Amino acid sequence: MKIVAPIRQLDEIAALARAGADELYCGVTPREWAERFGGASANRRPGGNLPSLAALAEAVELAHHNGVQLSLVLNAQQYSVEQIEFALEIARGYADMGGDAVIASDPGLILALAEAVPGLRIHVSSVATCRNADGARLYQELGARRLILPRDITLDEAAEIAAAVPDLEIEAFILNDGCVYEEGSCNTLHLPGALGGPICLDRYAYVHRHRDGRPLSPALAARLQENDAAYRRWLWYRFSCGFTTTAEGMPFGPCGLCAIPALGRGGIHALKIAGREGPPERKLASVRMVRQILDAHERGESPAAVMTRARDLRPSHEHCATGFMCYYPEVVGEAERARETARHSPPTSPVPTSD
């Protein structure tokens, strides 16, 4: 499996490649785009972009020089006709630079890209929310070469899609940056923090009620209150345990490291590290973490040993046990059992990182 990592500045490229990334992805919002479209970003992450097409060209060259591929993100949920035409201009220029792939979500843009820039690989963004083999087949018919699965998918579903569409590469989330709502079904903005931030983190008060107007019983009200408290706990985990890291800079969840053996068995082609807008140190630590666990898996360690190794990366056993930090919480029980077994066995040897 390949490791796919994000960048937003040129000096991240060599470091991430050395740490073990196989592919990188970036966004770009040229000044003319911002001027024509009212300051709107050309993709989903306005704070995570290269500043110019010149910087993009340099990024392509640097990536190839360091032996990794570079994909360009054009994954806004939906583009106007004028924006699609401009996005095609960007894509043509990017292809001329030697760029490797465009990550897109809007099916109209995907169709337009396949026709206008036929030599350029198209990767379907997780923002497309494609969660079944028929959807994957349609995107393949439109010209896609890879499907990035949405965050909220189970390991069984991912494997079923990969098996049903074997000629389409499948990429799955492995680390960082949870969303509450599905990206393709969230019609909101990430507002500045002072105005509320992402809507899923905004401080909404919930007043529960029966839909038919009956008052809640005290018992039901108490259950709802407990559920709200559990949801807030889950939310804290979902957003990287309050956006914290270990002293070494390793991020806490969302995390799928324990599921790497299952993802491998399921025919997943690439593992996506999210977080273009994050600091360089977090990206570097993230790549090292995934590389370490992937290397153990590819070296032939047993799934139980790989899971144990993944859980021992960070002082997060209690967090791991909640399942709330997991992209694939269905493996929590399995990982817990593996760790219990490992406690009564000789420790596994550390795997050197690629850096």
Partner 1 sequence: MSAPLTFLRRPPAPPPTGASAAPPTALAALPASGVAIAVSMVRPRTLERLCADTPARAAFWSTTLHDAALADWLAPLRPTRLHVGSEFCERLLPEPEQLARTLAEASAAGLEVGLLTPVASPEVLRALEPLFALLPAGAEVVVNDWGVALRLREFHPLLQPVAGRILCRMLKDPRLGNPQYAPPAAHGFASPWQQRLFARVGITRVEMDMPLFAGADSFAGVPLPLGVHLPFAFVAKGRMCRTAGLARPGPERFAPRPFCHHECLGLAARTERARDGTHDAWETLHVGNTMFCRHSAASLAVLAAAVAAGRVARLIVPGEAL
Q: How large is the greatest C-alpha to C-alpha distance in the chain, in angstroms?
A: 67
The answer for residues whose C-beta is within 8 angstroms of residue 336's C-beta and 6 or more apart is: 321
Check residue 15 for interaction with partner 1 (CB under 8 A): no
Interatomic CA distance for residues 13 and 8, integer angstroms: 9
Check residue 92 for interaction with partner 1 (CB under 8 A): no
Residue (58 or 277) nearer to partner 1, CB: 277
* Residues 150-169 interacting with partner 1 (rule: CB under 8 A): 150-154, 157, 160-161
Number of neighbouring beta carbons within 10 Å of residue 223? 13
Check residue 218 for interaction with partner 1 (CB under 8 A): no
Check residue 347 for interaction with partner 1 (CB under 8 A): no
- The DSSP code for 20 is T
CA dihedral 280, 286, 289, 290 (to 10 degrees): -130
Which span (44-52, 241-249, 257-265, 344-352) binds partner 1, by CB under 8 A? 44-52
User: What CA–CA distances, in Å, run from 161 to 73, 149, 164, 271, 307?
Assistant: 23, 9, 5, 15, 24
Number of neighbouring beta carbons within 10 Å of residue 179? 18
Check residue 263 for interaction with partner 1 (CB under 8 A): no
Check residue 188 for interaction with partner 1 (CB under 8 A): yes
Candidates 2, 18, 64, 190: give the one binding partner 1 (CB under 8 A).
190
Check residue 249 for interaction with partner 1 (CB under 8 A): no
Candidates 10, 15, 41, 58: give the one binding partner 1 (CB under 8 A).
41
Which span (191-199, 247-255, 309-317, 344-352) binds partner 1, by CB under 8 A? 191-199
For 215, the token pair is: 């008052």
Q: Annotate each residue in 325-344 with x if it binds partner 1 (CB under 8 A) or - if it does not, as one string.
A: -x--xx-xx-----------
Our CA angle for 294, 300, 302, nearest 5°, is: 90
Residue (87 or 284) nearer to partner 1, CB: 87
Candidates 52, 66, 78, 246: give the one binding partner 1 (CB under 8 A).
78
